[in-house]
Amino acid sequence: MKISVIGTGYVGLVSGTCFAETGNKVICVDIDDNKIQKLRSGDIPIYEPQLDVLFERNVRQGRLQFTNSLKEAVDQTDLIFLALPTPPGEDGSADLSYVLNVAKDLGEIISDYKVIVDKSTVPVGTAEKVTAAIQKNAKVNFDVVSNPEFLREGFAVEDFLKPDRVVIGTSSERAKKIMEELYRPFVRQGNPIIFMDEKSAELTKYAANSFLATKISFMNEIANICELLEADVDKVRIGIGSDTRIGKRFLFPGIGYGGSCFPKDVQALIRSSKKVGYDFKILNSVEEVNTSQKTIIVPKIKNYFGNNLSGKKIAVWGLAFKPDTDDIREAPSRYIIDELLECGAKISAFDPEAMDNIKAIYLDKINFGTNNYEVLEDADALLIATEWSVFRNPDFTRVSQLMKEKVIFDGRNLYDLQKMTSLGYRYYSIGRKDV
């Protein structure tokens, strides 16, 4: 098939590359000329495990191309994917301007039947709006399909190549056949392609992300109550996760969820509900809990230093909103760093992939190290904000030698309490007793 992907970010680049990997000819479009230049010269602008191998192979074999011209891409393709941003607008509802502006342009460009597929996360009713925007200028037939994306950053390639399910919202038999053919190679193990109407498909994505965010906020509240009741959240987590109705995954407490999806999608579903007169009470709380959870470790740090952080050197391990990505959108690390800087602390940070993105925002307000040990030199405390694997088993002898004080504030519960006690650390984590 001949496919164009409009918007070459985390979702667009991974989708385009994986579609090319199954033999399709793909052209990715972006308005960011710099990004297109980079991609054309073989440089991948994001960090995503496994993407480089597929990218290189498909570019080399001529199945994956890049352009900044929407018309050039659309003229050569039958299937057009929209992987455009849908950031929160002023009131928190999804800003559809990127999607609708491109839809308007598509109406003028298309000269024969096309299937236009919305892969961006969009509120219920967007397929109708996209159809109307294209229809305004279009002189030919087309179908608009809703195909929300469920990939996780850090596992995006794996998730795309072997999805748990593919959701396709369409009322067109013609589009349905094309979508089924496109996705068949990705579900050979028997995972379902689930067809439904456009509105249900659009809501499925928000429901999935909101449910997962709810699970995280619920566990964070259990952690907070564990601290007050002197219970251990790790034990509680294992105790409840063994119940198959609950499941083991997504039960890890910490300093809240971040990223470009959960925060904005929870907000957008709250706003969409409000617009139709429904008060989504649970989600209001999920959001509220997450906002306070992001900085829940700051009072512990302040308390330890007698409310005076002025001149204290805090080493930070982990800046990305989660491991295995360079994405720092809504990362809890940023909220914590902002508060610590405001209190006069000095920050010295390390992240395996996200430092360039953080540097672009903080400039010289914080220092960076080339590895996780370098930032510990003369540090008054270590804060762990992201659970990268490389932080799980550090050389504690080296850590002790480098730090001024043996104090760790762990927002991701990486270490065993007994071990930290025997190593002589003051260790503060989430939902467990301080040692």
Ligand X SMILES: NC(=O)c1ccc[n+]([C@@H]2O[C@H](COP(=O)([O-])OP(=O)(O)OC[C@H]3O[C@@H](n4cnc5c(N)ncnc54)[C@H](O)[C@@H]3O)[C@@H](O)[C@H]2O)c1
Please give the Cα distance from 272 to 269 (Å, whole number): 5
232 binds ligand X (CB under 6 A): no
Report, in Å, the least distance between residue 320 CB and ligand X: 12
Nearer to ligand X, 212 or 384 (CB): 212
Ranked by CB distance to ligand X, the top (closest) residue is: 9
- Binding track, positions 17-36, relative to ligand X; x by CB under 6 A: ------------xxxx--x-
Residue 12 engages ligand X in binding (rule: CB under 6 A): yes
Q: How far is CA 386 from CA 182, 275, 298, 346, 414, in A?
A: 36, 36, 15, 19, 10
In angstroms, what is the minimal distance from the CB of 266 to ligand X? 12
Q: Is the dihedral of CA 111, 112, 113, 116 positive or negative?
A: negative
Query: Is 153 or 234 the residue whose CB approaches ligand X more closely?
Result: 153
Q: Answer yes or no whether residue 353 interacts with ligand X by CB under 6 A.
A: no
For residues 156 and 154, give the distance between their C-alpha atoms in angstroms, rounded to a whole number. 6
Q: Which of 67, 120, 217, 357 binds ligand X (CB under 6 A)?
A: 120
d(CA 364, CA 183): 46
User: Is residue 331 near ligand X by the rule CB under 6 A?
Assistant: no
Cβ closer to ligand X: 191 or 367?
A: 191
Distances in whole angstroms, Cα of residue 41 to Cα of each of 16, 37, 142? 17, 6, 34
| Residues composing the chain | 435
Between residues 103 and 298, which has the closer beta carbon with respect to ligand X?
103
Among 147, 214, 260, 413, binds ligand X (CB under 6 A): 260
Q: Quick count: other Cβ atoms within 10 Å of Cβ 1? A: 15
Q: Which string of x and - marks every residue 93-112 that binds ligand X (by CB under 6 A)? A: -----x---x----------
* Using rule CB under 6 A, residue 261 touches ligand X: yes
Q: Taking a C-beta distance cutoff of 8 angstroms, is the pair 321, 258 a contact? A: yes
Order the strands of the 407-410 sheet from edge to edge: 367-368, 346-350, 313-317, 381-384, 407-410, 426-428
Q: Is residue 86 involved in binding ligand X (CB under 6 A)?
A: yes
DSSP, collapsed to helix, strand or coil, labels residue 350 as strand
Asked if 78 interacts with ligand X (CB under 6 A), we say: no
Rule CB under 6 A: is residue 83 a binding residue for ligand X? yes
Q: Is there binding between residue 92 and ligand X (CB under 6 A)? A: no
Residues with catalytic function:
261
User: Residue 328: how many CA atoms within 13 Å on its side-chain side?
Assistant: 20
> Which residues contact ligand X (rule: CB under 6 A)?
6-12, 29-32, 35, 83-86, 98, 102, 120-121, 149, 151, 153, 260-261
